[in-house]
Amino acid sequence: MINKILLAIFCLIAGFCLSFFKSPKEDETPKDTNQTIYSINFDNLPEEERQKYISKDDLYEYGGYITPKSYIQNFTETNDQNLSNDVNELQEQVRELSKKNKILATDNVDISEKNLDFISKISEMKKNIENEKNEIVEKNQKTLGELEAQHFENIQTLTKRLNEAQADMIESSKAYEKKIIDL
């Protein structure tokens, strides 16, 4: 008993000492934890850093990707001049337009393939989810059937016991009636 009291007093003293050491001193001011966030873009980076990365504007040139900016720059015609009568110039324009059309067609095929991949993945995921759902429903129905069977079995057992108890009670009451009559 005395050991418990001494232990409790020791714990209290240790707690006060720890709280004294951990609490901030009154003359200390809390440190400012606010940090300034600077907004930078690719053009603000030093040249050596820019060499390590690709600007979004230059993405088309490096990877063959069609970005909105590269589409506007390379695939939209804003030239509303009258057509030239020079056959060679017209043929050159047709070649250039065919080349652009080929790039767009290739990009469309690439996007279509990616869309088909996504569609097949989504279909597979839906199929898996539906299978899991069906397995869960089947398992729940099986469990419910087992519980119903157990419930009916319990009802039959209780009904049988109740009937036996009633039969015993009737026999007991008949025996008591007979004893009363015999007296």
114 neighbors 107 (Cβ within 8 angstroms): no
Q: Residue 26: pLDDT above 80?
A: no
The predicted pLDDT at position 129 comes to 96
Q: Tell me whether residue 154 is in a domain.
A: yes
Q: Tell me whether residue 140 is in a domain.
A: yes
Q: Tell me whether residue 96 is in a domain.
A: yes
Total number of domains constituting the chain: 1
Question: How far, in Å, are 16, 25, 27 from residue 21 at the CA level?
Answer: 9, 9, 14
Confidence of residue 81 (pLDDT cuts 50, 70, 90): low
Q: Tell me whether residue 115 is in a domain.
A: yes
Q: Tell me whether residue 164 is in a domain.
A: yes
**N-terminal to C-terminal alpha carbon distance within the chain:** 70
Q: Tell me whether residue 126 is in a domain.
A: yes
Confidence of residue 105 (pLDDT cuts 50, 70, 90): confident
Q: Tell me whether residue 127 is in a domain.
A: yes
- Residue 147: name the closest of 131, 155, 160, 159 by CA: 155
The predicted pLDDT at position 56 comes to 64
Q: What is the mean pLDDT of residues 160-176?
A: 92
106 neighbors 81 (Cβ within 8 angstroms): no
Q: Tell me whether residue 61 is in a domain.
A: yes
The predicted pLDDT at position 17 comes to 67
Q: Specify the residue for token string 């418990």.
A: 4
CA–CA gap between residue 50 and residue 41 (Å, rounded): 10
For 100, other C-beta atoms within 10 Å of its C-beta total 14
Tally: H helices and E strands in the chain: 5, 0
Any idea which of 92-96, 151-155, 162-166 has the lowest mean pLDDT?
92-96
Which residue range(s) make up the domain with 164?
47-67+88-182
